[in-house]
Amino acid sequence: MRKIFLIFGIFICSQIFGQKIEVLNFATFHMQYTPDANKVEFDQYDKKNKVETYEIAKKLAKFKPTVILVEVVPNKNEVLQNDYQNFLKSKDYKTKFGGEIALIAYEIGKIAGVKKIYGIDEQETAAYNYNIGNELKNQVDSLTSKYYLKSVIAKFKELEKKSTLEKLKFYNTREGLDIFFNANADILTYNSTQGNFEGADEASKFYRRNLRIFSNINQIPLTKNDRVFIIMGASHTAFINDFMKRSPKYELMDVSKYLK
């Protein structure tokens, strides 16, 4: 009965909402300065890195997006759009937004002829303490998160030896996205003192930020004919993927198809 109800529900949603908007939700590391606790060492001005990221942009441009969304707060959308338009007009233009925005998002836009680019980030959420597991005294369980994060660090040290493309291929796997989701939020729920919720409360701040990012996406004027490319830090991508999987409006495309 439950299976029949689920199938019926999907059918009803498809009748109400019609064609879903196709989305390529791409996870990356930040390719310029970031205050994030964990970061990948990357020189955005290095010639080899530029060549490699351009090849990645060419692969992703085959998705043929009509709209690009990046990790910039919406109140900078006018500056972002002007920066992008100046980039399109002159190959010698020095962009105001660097890192993965200039190296990948702008290049995809140029190759695919994208006219619209928007910022969807959110920065008003209260300060988030990634390190609470190391600071909290008298925890009920101080070991689960400690050993999990230790294994994650070891995993990413191995990943550092690989090319940018190989790193990003892993970032966009289910395994990679689960790690980013867990390491940035759910693992904190193991950090608490008896009867309290210190780690969970910190994790909820990150959930809130990502829910607001998703809300920003939902405020962008899109039609069923649009194809949306999103590029953000991998932890945000992990959350947005989960939200979109349950969405009646969006259909996620397989990133691995474009990274071959």
Contact at 8 Å (CB) between 123 and 35? no
Dihedral sign (CA 84, 86, 91, 92): negative
Predicted pLDDT at 11: 46
Residue 17: what pLDDT? 63
Helices (H), 18-143: 47-61, 77-89, 99-100, 107-112, 132-135
3-state helix, strand, coil in the chain (%, to 5): 55, 10, 35
Q: What string of pLDDT tens digits covers the 260 residues of the chain? A: 555 544 444 444 444 567 899 999 999 999 985 555 566 778 888 899 999 999 999 999 999 999 999 999 999 999 999 999 999 999 899 999 999 999 999 999 999 999 999 999 999 877 889 889 999 999 999 899 999 999 999 999 999 999 999 999 999 999 999 999 999 999 999 999 999 999 999 999 999 999 999 999 999 999 999 999 999 999 999 999 999 999 999 999 999 999 99
Residue 19, burial from CB neighbour count under 10 angstroms (0-12, 13-18, 19+):
exposed
At 43 the pLDDT is 83
Please report the pLDDT score of residue 162 as a whole number: 94
Whether 168 contacts 27, CB under 8 Å = yes
* Structure confidence at residue 39 (pLDDT): 65
Give the pLDDT confidence score for residue 33 in this predicted structure: 56
Question: Counting every residue, how long is the chain?
Answer: 260
d(CA 15, CA 221): 21
- pLDDT tens, position by position, 187-204: 999 999 999 999 999 999
Rounded Cα gap, residues 60 and 72, in angstroms? 20
Sheet holding 227-233, edge to edge: 116-119, 67-70, 227-233, 21-28, 250-252
Q: Where are the domains of the chain?
A: 20-258
